[in-house]
Structure 1
């Protein structure tokens, strides 16, 4: 099987492209089923059967990636499906995507899970997101044994990297960067009122960082009031209905959003009313969602400081020099583990041939034993029967080797001869002949 990956991330594609390629958590399983059916329909020359196509989709604010295992190279079909399903031209997708195969796929997965490919070097959140993606693929039935094994090793590598290197040290998370941005506008966050929109893991992280500054008031707005209330209680914050946000927006000095909404929650009109009501008092808005929760045009309004996930890049890429040694150590670990997984795949590819050889051997043994039993039943000498049994089995095993040496093209005869020597001649201690080379092969 071939392993392949097609994807875009914060390094290869701008935010507007990543927005269009994002998958919601609710729609992920349907997308996986459609993808599998599409890939199966596009197979050519591959016998039918279950497990011929495996797929998983990882979609976060910074990346959308499809991992696939198939009998034929699936990258072209993956690009076509992704572009068509997200209403993006294939040309644009080719321009902004990476298309990896075999060891490139494995290496990329290991690097992503270890935090080496993240906007925040070493950030741990991506590992949980990848585990969620694998769980969705498993629940949908698109994971399969090859991808399943790759992701098991991916998680093990990520654990090894995080436990044996300092890759996560000195990192600035997206949550911490949000606080730093707010502090560039407001000298003292203790005087500020903070609104968080959403109640997921990212908002919980951001609220944790902001709460350490002891702001004057915090509120959490969520589509499901009960879930928002649970998180609000954790931070001593007010719980709000999402529907009340437009009317109360002007009350807050800092607004941080991170939801799974496919449409903006704060439009230009609501933001304009907010600016008027605040009488031009500045407001910091941090939009951590992909697709965006706040319309991009809001950034043009006076006294509004709007930041998207791409705007946080410079802040989260600090301390690179301090982490370089850890990166090199992590890359070395990953490279070793990539080679180990490829060897596993190589060995796995030989299993059908091994089974065929074992079956052929059983058939020959059965046929010769049956012949020997008949001769013994007729009263033939046991010694002669055993001698014939051994001779016939040896001839069967050696027949194809003799035929290959006799009929091979002269240009390849030496290569065949060496192969036969390695396969059939047992090296003796102290041997200096060709057979002895097999000890070093």
Structure 2
């Protein structure tokens, strides 16, 4: 078995291309089943669908697979069709990794070393959700289970043994900091959050700490929006109410799983007119976008996407590099352990066959010994026959090999036999 990964992320693909390959959590299972079905029909044995896990976040979409042989081209073609782009376009923005390279990448992603925000903790939870989805879809086998369990363990060690986490600034914290640069006093602002997921909850937590004058949460499912609004003492809105209420808010943070923009250019233009061109600070954390890109060109609108926030989360370079070096050393050890496990797996069938054969020989000789005892042979005779019979069975194949083949082959066999049977007891 081998492992490989294919993906795009914030360093290789622009935001709009990443948006084509963004999958909500409830889409992971059917998407994985589609991939495995396509690959099993491509393989010689239709029943041998590869193990697969799909990780999809704002910053990346990655497919991790394990099978007897990698088929990166087929996986890329399937991914391109799924996203509605040409394979050549996707290939120019994607990366593929194999063996220890794929393992190292998974460990770095889990540890927050490959994130837009160094050391950010959200990715670990997203990876765990992706693994659960793969398990529920029946796509997670022994190899990928080991890969991800080891990646989680490495991530935990990195977080507890290094200062990676202390040098990270979350997207939410960065948004608060940028908003503070536009508005002198956030306590006098009105903030609207669109969505009710983990990222919005995190952003709301950061902004709520600044005690804004009013907080509202708009969500497609009103019940879920009301639940989050209650937590922050906020107002719950329906998405349908947004066009009429948009002008009331100074700060708008959006992160939904919608495949189409929630806020259009026209709605923002009308809001600005009603506000008499008082500025609006907007953050679009969604992939694909929740806010139409054309809004960026409007005067009095300060719109940031997840990619725009990248420069706002940089921290002291020297401290970061020291923490990264420590984390990479931990990851190196983790990769070595995983690859050692992978290599040992190749001998497992042989070990199982040896145990099975030895048990069969033992059973045969025990049956023979019981017959000898039943007919009245002495215990010493039975024990002698039992030990001789097992020894002969164990050595029969070895002796036959030592007498066959040419001189060079016999010499190699003799060296192997010496290592196996003539080692001195320590």
TM-score normalised according to structure 1 size: 0.89
Tell me if the contact between 1:195 and 1:256 (Cα under 8 Å) persists in the aligned partners.
yes
Q: How does 1:91-240 map to 2 (within 5 A)?
A: 91-240=88-237
Unaligned runs of 5+ residues in structure 1 are 430-441
Tell me if the contact between 2:110 and 2:152 (Cα under 8 Å) persists in the aligned partners.
yes
Q: Does 1:77 align with 2:81?
A: no
Partner of residue 27, structure 2: 27
Deviates more, 1:331-340 or 1:412-421: 412-421
Partner of residue 439, structure 1: none
Tell me if the contact between 2:118 and 2:167 (Cα under 8 Å) persists in the aligned partners.
no
Partner of residue 87, structure 2: 90
Q: Alpha-carbon deviation of 1:370?
A: 5.1
1:265-290 residue CA offsets vs partner (Å, 9 max, x unmatched): 11122122223323332221110000
1:32-89 residue CA offsets vs partner (Å, 9 max, x unmatched): 2212222222222x5846xx53211111101111122222224333222211122122
Partner of residue 10, structure 1: 10
Using the alignment, how far apart are the partners of 1:379 and 1:145 within structure 2?
Answer: 52
Using the alignment, how far apart are the partners of 1:253 and 1:336 within structure 2?
Answer: 49
- Give the secondary-structure state (helix, strand or coil) at the position aligned to 1:12: coil
Match of 2:244 among 242, 247, 261: 247
Backbone CA RMSD of aligned residues: 2.5
Q: Alpha-carbon deviation of 1:386?
A: 5.7
Q: Alpha-carbon deviation of 1:371?
A: 5.6
- Give the secondary-structure state (helix, strand or coil) at the position aligned to 2:283: strand
Using the alignment, how far apart are the partners of 1:175 and 1:102 within structure 2?
Answer: 35
Partner of residue 334, structure 2: 337
Q: Alpha-carbon deviation of 1:212?
A: 2.1
Match of 1:394 among 384, 388, 391: 391
Tell me if the contact between 1:4 and 1:101 (Cα under 8 Å) persists in the aligned partners.
yes
Deviates more, 1:258-267 or 1:361-370: 361-370
TM-score normalised according to structure 2 size: 0.92
Q: Alpha-carbon deviation of 1:369?
A: 5.0
- Give the secondary-structure state (helix, strand or coil) at the position aligned to 1:27: helix
The structure-2 alpha-carbon separation of the partners of 1:272 and 1:370, relative to structure 1 and needing over 3 Å to count, comes to same
Using the alignment, how far apart are the partners of 1:104 and 1:337 within structure 2?
Answer: 12
Q: Alpha-carbon deviation of 1:124?
A: 0.9
Unaligned runs of 5+ residues in structure 2 are none
